[in-house]
Amino acid sequence: MNYREQLKNPASLGYIDVIVQSALSEPDSFEEIFRLAFDADTDVAWRSGWVCDKISRKHPHLFTPEHIQKIADTLVIVKHHGIRREYLCLLNNLHLPDEVSVELINQFFEWMIMPKSDVSAQVLSMKLLYKICQKQSEFKQELMAYLENISPSDYTPGFNATRKKIIKLLNNKQLKP
């Protein structure tokens, strides 16, 4: 299957599922799909990211530490909201790299608190910051301060529900300050 050509076309959920099945059935196809998630054509990259997201939910073992690091490294420079959302979804579905750059952590904080940002980017950034707190407990106080000082009226119900859940988890977890 010529994935690049297939991914240039507008995609539906059913169509993406067909590409996922094809990518999983052919040995080298996953690598090609992953590579296309970083394509210069934003439509191809976005749809390939969507395919990778679906694959990561059922087959996270296919993603190597190098794949995960590439996602993390590229995320800080991506401008397209759809591609950003897919990369955030991928990192949320997979294990974070052992070392997360300060630049990426700062970007997560920025995306999380921007009231006009996509709610998906806000929520996924919040979840990823929580995951970072689990590995690097020194961020716990900073994340807690941000979440406690946000005005709920500036954000969506989905954001606020996740915010409350993360605050509860931070309070209940024995993360060292």
| C-alpha–C-alpha distance, residues 83 and 37, integer Å | 8
**Model confidence, pTM:** 0.90
Could you tell me which of 78, 169, 90, 175 has the C-alpha nearest to residue 124? 90
The pLDDT value given to residue 174:
56
| Degrees to nearest 5, angle at CA 160 with 111 and 112 | 10
| C-alpha–C-alpha distance, residues 148 and 49, integer Å | 33
The pLDDT value given to residue 91:
97
The pLDDT value given to residue 26:
84
Domain positions in the chain? 1-97, 100-177
Residues of the chain with pLDDT under 70: 11-13, 173-177
The pLDDT value given to residue 165:
96
Could you tell me which of 13, 55, 8, 66 has the C-alpha nearest to residue 30? 55
The pLDDT value given to residue 177:
39
